[in-house]
Structure 1
């Protein structure tokens, strides 16, 4: 059975452009995978705590030495990792906020990147352990930045770091430049969704 994990980070939640595009893709995915399982994670409705020294130390403390509070922190992270580990397809809604990804998504990534769990260091460099997955990332931007941008590079770099190298970025750009540009961008994104589905 195929499993899809949908991760949303728009402050507008279901009303956000990336959320709406992801929903359209998921609708097609459900049609093609009637027995598939959908997991939804809304990082605005249920924000992940920022990484703190306390949380980092909980991750790096051996299991047998953790306090009850540290174990609770690790259990929370483990739940997030179990969701992403069990998924075959990841669908991320990622608006651009101040030239980068939303802080809610970054804190989620901070809890996903765990040495020895989702990646490991080897003599040949880091190796991602979340393999054999596809990620479709819907990116919405007010201006025009294209694929050669730090936000795009970071998304590919992080996902690749944990082993997810099959990454498709679908852009909707120029949303703040006028209704005509917005409509054109949304039409192009929907066309790409149809091709991916």
Structure 2
């Protein structure tokens, strides 16, 4: 059975506009793909911590020994094995919540998510062909140098070997000049269309 890994980085839970948009996409996608398994990670409930210096040293030794079977690398193994990846996170401090960054630290393991080639280049090892990043933004940052979240996701997909990073977003939602409901409705229509092809 093929697997979609859904990484929920929406720390406001049911109050999250990003999560509502993502759930709309996921409902439509699951209706079209009933034979797929969905593995959901709710980052806010997981309590992941940033790696300390001592942990990095210990894990680096395991990486060099290629000892990847233990629980320290479970999230990286799950991420690398997924057939498709759905990542939902609001736009916070020009990127995304810290929980997402910490999760990415846990999955970015040399020897599982990527490796280095003979010339030092990174070679992706992840199975997924597509990653969909869903986000909502209070301001208007599309194409701005201040938007760092989506750009980081695109870079990581290149490192992981995920060939098609996709973006679904609604932005300008806190701009009083905008009709936030209309913007979210338009993004919802985009979510429906993406669900047909993802």
* TM-score (ref. length: structure 1): 0.87
Mapped partners of 1:74, 1:12: distance in 2: 33
- Residue in structure 1 matching 2:85, options 70, 87, 90: 90
Q: Is the 8 A contact 1:6 1:41 kept in 2?
A: yes
Unpaired runs of 5+ in structure 1? Answer: 66-70
CA deviation after TM superposition for structure 1 residue 110, in Å: 0.5
Q: Is the 8 A contact 2:115 2:124 kept in 1?
A: yes
Corresponding position of 1:143: 139
Ranges of 4+ aligned residues in structure 1 off by more than 6 Å: none
Mapped partners of 2:142, 2:168: distance in 1: 10
**Structure 1 residues 121, 23: CA separation in 2 closer, same or farther (over 3 Å shift)?**
same
- Is 1:36 the equivalent of 2:43? no
- Residue in structure 1 matching 2:176, options 174, 178, 193: 178
Q: Is the 8 A contact 1:156 1:165 kept in 2?
A: no
Paired residue total:
191
CA deviation after TM superposition for structure 1 residue 74, in Å: 7.7
Corresponding position of 1:24: 24
Unpaired runs of 5+ in structure 2? Answer: none
**Structure 1 residues 63, 185: CA separation in 2 closer, same or farther (over 3 Å shift)?**
closer
- Is 1:45 the equivalent of 2:40? no
Q: Is the 8 A contact 2:76 2:109 kept in 1?
A: no
